[in-house]
């Protein structure tokens, strides 16, 4: 199965952090945090070897399955075939498909590195894809400098640099915690969503689907940090068909792959991947091996990276939380509706099962909401709305409450994700977190707006706001006649001393996004 095994030598003196029950075998590779590598040396041998692999792959014709262009086309392409344009989004196959994709891409990189005289023997023997853990605060929320420099230390064009990224990110800006934090995703107990009809969420890993290229509700991890990082980095990263052409894409997805491991390793309560045959074996996917041959994998064949794919990550820490955010959380006037991301001893609060009945529309916006780069709000009434029991009898209070952001369409690549707030009382930046529902990454909005796509209904986000609803209602801040939902564009955090020109270079709304409807559902 592993065509790259013959290239692999024993891993010497591997030091792992926070890895439990892990036995390193002769063929087990270790994927490492790129910022730890870059901190030790900006052009660490692992990063330099990756650049060399990218350079070699870029010299190959696009028709070569091991070329840079072809590998990117597997993710998204104007023309689909057995291999190309097959990425899985808004689906419970999102995580396993990308794990397979990374695995075979890594094999191709590794084979390319073996042929290069510019890579030393030790690196050739041990090389694995690094990952970008952007959730450890500054500077890890910035693009590593090796990906921003236009040239290598030797003065050659840098294969890891691509033009057209978000100017602020290209200038060394950092992504805010709302973009990088996986806390909300990791708190999900269930891999897939429930059975709430129009308010069915995607759970941790995505809704139950067949082969699904995009469109429809998405899993929490696919939204944040996955989609949010895609859109915030921008440029090639912002679209399905071009994302794989940015070398940072592969490191970003290694981190998403690692976060799946982090989620799976949680024990309170124990998490579990789907076990039904529809997920494990019935749907297969095609990729290209290091020799360009067709290879096929199923999700059940990639659930254990160590035993099935011969690689591990160097650490599985739960997400980092910035001290200032923690301080803000502790000042809340009522319990925060989202999991409190404590740096140690973290346990997710109990997540209620979604009732097995359709949710009930309580209220919705009358007109579309256009996101054009500025903060925008919409209001609507939920007056007279009732919740219903499983027997369709009216009840005083809803068991669950959802905020749906749906029918989202974009003519082009969305310039930035948006944070979503409910009943925001003012513009005081220090109180925002009280009312924040989540974030809409908007990744895939343009693709899902294509009438020729499989899901031309656009993309959709479902937020369970039950605890926030109860807290606001208890505090007298929930007016049924005026439920206000606010969308705030995410701003990249510029480093200290950055010139005003950088701040002015925030992404502009050249491709407005239209939200067809914002609605509240009771269940």
**Of 78, 440, 379, nearest to 230 (Cα)?**
440
Q: Candidates 25, 26, 39, 272: give the one binding other proteins (CB under 8 A).
A: 272
Considering the complex, state which of residue 324 and residue 482 has its C-beta at the smaller distance from other proteins: 482
512 binds other proteins (CB under 8 A): no
Alpha carbon 156 to chain centroid distance? Answer: 32
> For the chain, how are helix, strand and coil distributed in percent, rounded to 5?
30, 15, 55
396 binds other proteins (CB under 8 A): no
157 binds other proteins (CB under 8 A): no
CB-CB contact of 19 with 314 (8 Å):
yes
CB-CB contact of 275 with 282 (8 Å):
no
390 binds other proteins (CB under 8 A): yes
Which residues lie across from 43 on neighbouring strands?
none
Angle value at C-alpha 459, between 454 and 461, nearest 5 degrees? 145
Please choose, out of 143-151, 153-161, 328-336, 387-395, the segment that lies near other proteins by the rule CB under 8 A. 387-395
Number of residues that bind other proteins (CB under 8 A): 53
Q: Candidates 206, 225, 227, 274: give the one binding other proteins (CB under 8 A).
A: 274
Considering the complex, state which of residue 120 and residue 366 has its C-beta at the smaller distance from other proteins: 366
Residue 377 Cβ, how far from other proteins at the closest point, in Å? 17
Q: Candidates 456, 481, 495, 508: give the one binding other proteins (CB under 8 A).
A: 456
What the block records as the tokens of 497 is 């001393």
Residue 379 Cβ, how far from other proteins at the closest point, in Å? 13
What gap in Å lies between CA 268 and CA 227, rounded to an integer? 27
Give the count of beta carbons closer than 10 Å to the beta carbon of residue 105: 26
Residue 275 Cβ, how far from other proteins at the closest point, in Å? 7
191 binds other proteins (CB under 8 A): yes
Residues numbered 198 to 217 that lie near other proteins (CB under 8 A) are: 198, 203, 208, 210-211
Residue with tokens 């969308």: 487
Residue 308 Cβ, how far from other proteins at the closest point, in Å? 20
What gap in Å lies between CA 409 and CA 455, rounded to an integer? 11
Measured between alpha carbons, how far is residue 252 from residues 129, 180, 336 in Å? 11, 11, 29
Please choose, out of 232-240, 321-329, 415-423, 448-456, the segment that lies near other proteins by the rule CB under 8 A. 448-456
What gap in Å lies between CA 456 and CA 459, rounded to an integer? 9
Considering the complex, state which of residue 105 and residue 463 has its C-beta at the smaller distance from other proteins: 463
Site residues (vs other proteins, CB under 8 A): 190-195, 197-198, 203, 208, 210-211, 271-276, 353-358, 360-366, 368, 380, 385-386, 388-393, 406-407, 451-457, 516-517, 519
């Amino acid at each position: 199965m592993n065509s790259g095994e013959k290239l692999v030598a024993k891993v010497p003196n591997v030091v792992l952090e926070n890895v439990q029950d892990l036995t390193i075998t002769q063929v087990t590779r270790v994927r490492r945090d790129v910022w730890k590598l870059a901190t030790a040396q900006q052009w660490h041998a692992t990063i330099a070897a990756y650049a060399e692999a990218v350079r070699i792959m870029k010299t190959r014709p696009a028709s070569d399955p091991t070329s840079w262009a072809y590998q990117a086309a597997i993710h998204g392409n104007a023309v689909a075939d057995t291999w190309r344009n097959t990425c899985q989004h808004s689906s419970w196959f999102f995580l396993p498909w990308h794990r397979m994709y990374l695995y075979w891409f890594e094999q191709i990189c590794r084979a390319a590195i073996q042929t290069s005289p510019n890579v030393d023997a030790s690196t050739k023997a041990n090389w694995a894809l690094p990952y970008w853990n952007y959730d450890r605060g500054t500077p890890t929320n910035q693009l590593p400098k090796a990906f921003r420099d236009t040239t290598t230390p030797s003065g050659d064009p840098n294969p890891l640099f691509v033009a057209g990224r978000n100017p602020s990110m290209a200038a060394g800006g950092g992504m805010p915690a709302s973009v990088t934090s996986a806390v909300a995703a990791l708190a999900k107990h269930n891999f897939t969503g429930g059975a709430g009809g129009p308010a069915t969420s995607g759970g941790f890993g995505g809704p139950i689907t067949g082969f699904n290229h995009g469109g429809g509700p998405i899993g929490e991890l696919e939204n944040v940090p996955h989609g949010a990082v895609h859109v915030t980095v921008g440029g090639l990263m912002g679209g399905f068909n071009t994302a794989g052409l940015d070398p940072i894409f592969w490191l970003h997805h290694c981190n998403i792959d690692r976060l799946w491991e982090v989620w799976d390793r949680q024990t309170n309560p124990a998490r579990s991947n789907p076990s039904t045959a529809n997920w494990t074996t019935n749907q297969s996917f095609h990729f290209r091996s290091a020799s360009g041959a067709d290879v096929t994998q199923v999700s059940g064949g990639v659930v254990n990276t160590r035993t099935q794919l011969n690689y591990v990550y160097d650490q599985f820490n739960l997400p980092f939380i910035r001290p200032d955010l923690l301080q803000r959380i502790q000042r809340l006037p009522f319990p925060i509706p989202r999991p409190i991301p404590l740096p140690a001893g973290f346990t997710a609060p109990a997540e209620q099962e979604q009732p097995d009945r359709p949710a009930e529309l309580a209220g919705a916006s009358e007109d579309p909401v256009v996101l054009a780069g500025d903060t925008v709000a919409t209001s609507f009434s939920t007056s007279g709305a009732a919740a219903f029991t499983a027997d369709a009898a009216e009840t005083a209070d809803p068991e669950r409450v959802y905020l749906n952001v749906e029918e989202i369409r974009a003519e082009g690549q969305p310039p930035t994700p948006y944070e979503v707030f409910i009943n925001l009382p003012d513009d005081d930046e220090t109180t925002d977190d009280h009312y924040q529902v989540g974030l809409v990454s908007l990744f895939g909005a343009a693709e899902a707006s294509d009438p020729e796509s499989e899901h031309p209904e656009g993309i959709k986000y479902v937020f369970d706001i039950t605890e926030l609803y109860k807290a606001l209602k208890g505090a007298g801040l929930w007016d049924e006649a005026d439920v206000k939902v606010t969308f705030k564009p995410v701003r990249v955090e510029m480093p200290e001393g950055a010139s005003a020109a950088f701040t002015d270079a925030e992404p502009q709304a050249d491709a407005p996004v239209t939200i067809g409807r914002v609605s509240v559902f009771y269940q």
